[in-house]
Amino acid sequence: MAIANLHHEDLSLRYYAAWWLGKFRVNEPAAVEALIAALEDEADRTELGGYPLRRNAARALGKLGDRRAVPGLIRCLECSDFYVREAAAQSLGMLGDLSCVPALMKLLDGGVAAAMRVPGRPHLEQPSEAVMEALGTLQATQATALIQPFLEHPVARVQYAAARAMYQLTKEPVYGERLVQALQESDLQLRRVILSDLGAIGYLPAAEAIASAATENSFKLIALKGLLEQVQTGASSVDPQDPRSLSRDAIRVMTLMDALL
Amino acid sequence: MTDSSQELIDAIEQANSPERLVASVQALAATRQTAGISTLIAVLGYNNPTAAVAAVEGLIQIGEAAVQPLLEQLDDYNYGARAYAIRALAAIASPRALDALVAAATDFAPSVRRAAAKGLGNLHWHELSQEQIPSAQLLALSTLLSISQDPDWAIRYAAVVGLQGLATQLEVRQPIQKRLEEMTQDPDIAVRARVQLANQLVISH
């Protein structure tokens, strides 16, 4: 039904169908093919020239985990609509296919000077944050030198996206510590983003700072969960003789989590 | 009511900045006066997390005397306030809160469910009469077993914490061990880790 609706004459139904397929992770070949086709949609346009259906299709394809979507998503990185480029970058990060790295790096061309706010719009020239996040997740170490200058970007959240990627690419604690410091930011929304960054990179020394951050417990629990997952996946080799053994770090993180319930 | 508690209550009601509110709540909480209970409960609904945490701390310190007012003033329309109240009840651990915790365990708000799950495992059962204990513990057990299947990983995590606490009660220990054994297959790595910790603690207890 949702797959058929991607071709419905009612544009709002197409838009909804693309969201729905991603939300419920319908990764049937027919759904993936229909969504890839929707990346080229010309019918659904906003007043500002945006492509709502393409945005939703790009977002959905990231969730479906089918790498056949990669070439279409790479083409979306050149779309005139910022939000299509942003969604494509995010989804390419999720799909884990390294062939997109050069195209992602191209969006960082010109460095900080080129990545400025577009007057009258709530976003930068390029989706720099999403691009850096994807490159970090993909472990694209060749992008390290390109990302580093963004640590000095005038927009705080761009700096933090750079710190997150730099930590993923180098594992240098200095970048994790930069995110820990950022938990003191006065903007609640920003603190929540930082928490999710710390959880995503599993930066263990941040555990206590996360537990005492000034945000809702739900956000802290998700961040600490990221740390715990990092410990547990890394720890499988610690003591193969005793599957019941838990590291002190794991117990430390869980003690903090228990106190947030 | 002492004059000083009334002054502190007035200060909370008249606080004109978040900083003043927090400072006034902390001051009232520190007195541990029962006269402040109602005001501290009201603060849970002010949508100021720092003030609410200070109020929860104050209510926990007051303890038993705060249980009945907390139960009577549970806010049906504000899940944030409800979560703080359930957290306070869970920490005071009076078994008189059992029914409220059981109800909260199926609340629509995850923060309320998590607080209730933790609380259900740690009530002071000995405050009940000998005849009341078995049925009360069975009610806590069945509630925890049921929410240990919640789709939300954090609720299952909290249910494990609750089950671990309840496992100190010998009568219900066996079904808890059985459920914890099943939960070693949980899809979520964080929940599995917590089950592992609970198993260690339950076995060594």
Chain B residues whose beta carbon lies within 8 Å of the beta carbon of residue A225 = 153-154, 190
Domain range summary for chain A, segments of one domain joined by +: 172-261
Which residues in chain B are contacts of A223 at CB distance < 8 A? none
> Which of A227, A253, A261 is best to mutate for the B interface (most B CBs within 10 A)?
A261
Question: What's the gap between Cα A160 and its chain centre?
Answer: 13
Q: CA-CA distance, A126 to A76, in Å (whole number)?
A: 13
Residues present in chain B in total:
205
pLDDT digits (tens, 9 = 90+) for A109-141: 988 888 888 888 888 999 999 999 999 999 999
Residue B2 has a pLDDT of: 58
Query: Chain A: nearest CA to B158, how far in angstroms?
Result: 7
Q: pLDDT higher for B18 or B102? A: B102
- The burial of B176, by beta-carbon neighbours within 10 Å (0-12 exposed, 13-18 middle, 19 or more buried), is given as buried
CA angle A59, A22, A18 (to 5 degrees): 75
Give the C-alpha separation, A249 to A206, whole Å: 12
Q: A28-54: per-residue pLDDT in tens?
A: 999 999 999 999 999 889 888 899 999
The span from the CA of A21 to the CA of B6, in Å, is 58
Determine the residue among B186, B197, B200, B201 to mutate to test chain A binding: the one whose Cβ has the most chain A Cβ atoms within 10 Å: B197
Which residues, 6+ apart, have CB-to-CB distance to A80 below 8 Å? Answer: A49
B178 Cβ neighbours under 8 A, 6+ residues apart: none
- pTM score: 0.87
What are the residues whose beta carbons fall under 8 Å from the beta carbon of A176, sequence distance 6 or more? Answer: A163, A167, A198, A201, A203, A205, A206
Asked if the Cβ–Cβ distance from A261 to B197 is below 8 Å, we say no
Give the integer Cα–Cα distance in Å for A207 and A64.
32
pLDDT of residue B205: 60
Place of tokens 């779309």: A79
| pLDDT digits 0-9 by tens, A67-97 | 999 999 999 999 999 999 999 999 999 999 9
Q: Which range has the worst mean pLDDT, A2-6, A215-219, B90-94, B181-185?
A: A2-6
Q: Give me the interface pTM, i.e. the ipTM.
A: 0.90
**A219: which 2 tokens?**
């956000």
pLDDT tens column, B146-205: 999 999 999 999 999 999 999 999 999 999 999 999 999 999 999 999 999 999 988 766
pLDDT at B203: 75
A246 inside 8 A of chain B by CB: yes
